[in-house]
């Protein structure tokens, strides 16, 4: 698949989805917050992400297991 075709397919898929989790994940990846699949991240990056996750947890910005199960059941 060419780069242009891939961009077009991604755009169509994003326009079609109503899944907030998917949109947030794609946005996070495009911002550069996540390492590419299969790529190792540095210890510094790992610690940065861990610190951010801990802060989000303390602020109540997380999903419970039951909430995730409900979201997954809609896929």
| Same domain as 69, residue 48 | yes
| Same domain as 29, residue 16 | yes
| Same domain as 72, residue 57 | yes
SS3 of 37, please? coil
What is the arithmetic mean of pLDDT over 52-69?
Answer: 89
Q: Residues 25-34: contacts with CB within 8 Å, 24+ apart?
A: none
Per-residue pLDDT tens for 5-49? 999 999 999 999 988 888 888 888 888 766 666 677 889 988 999
| Same domain as 41, residue 29 | no
- Please count the helices (runs of H) and the strands (runs of E) in the chain: 4, 0
pTM for the structure as a whole: 0.43
The pLDDT of residue 48 is 93
Residue range of the domain that includes 30:
1-34
| The Cα angle at residue 47 between residues 44 and 49, in degrees rounded to 5 | 110
What is the count of structural domains for the chain? Answer: 2
| Same domain as 73, residue 56 | yes
| Same domain as 25, residue 49 | no
């Amino acid at each position: 698949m060419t780069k242009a075709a891939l961009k077009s397919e991604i755009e169509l898929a994003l326009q079609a989805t109503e899944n907030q989790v998917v949109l947030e994940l794609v946005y996070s990846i495009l911002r550069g917050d996540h390492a590419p699949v299969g790529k190792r991240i540095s210890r510094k990056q790992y610690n940065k992400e861990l610190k951010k996750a801990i802060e989000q947890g303390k602020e109540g910005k997380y999903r419970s297991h039951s909430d995730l199960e409900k979201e997954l059941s809609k896929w």
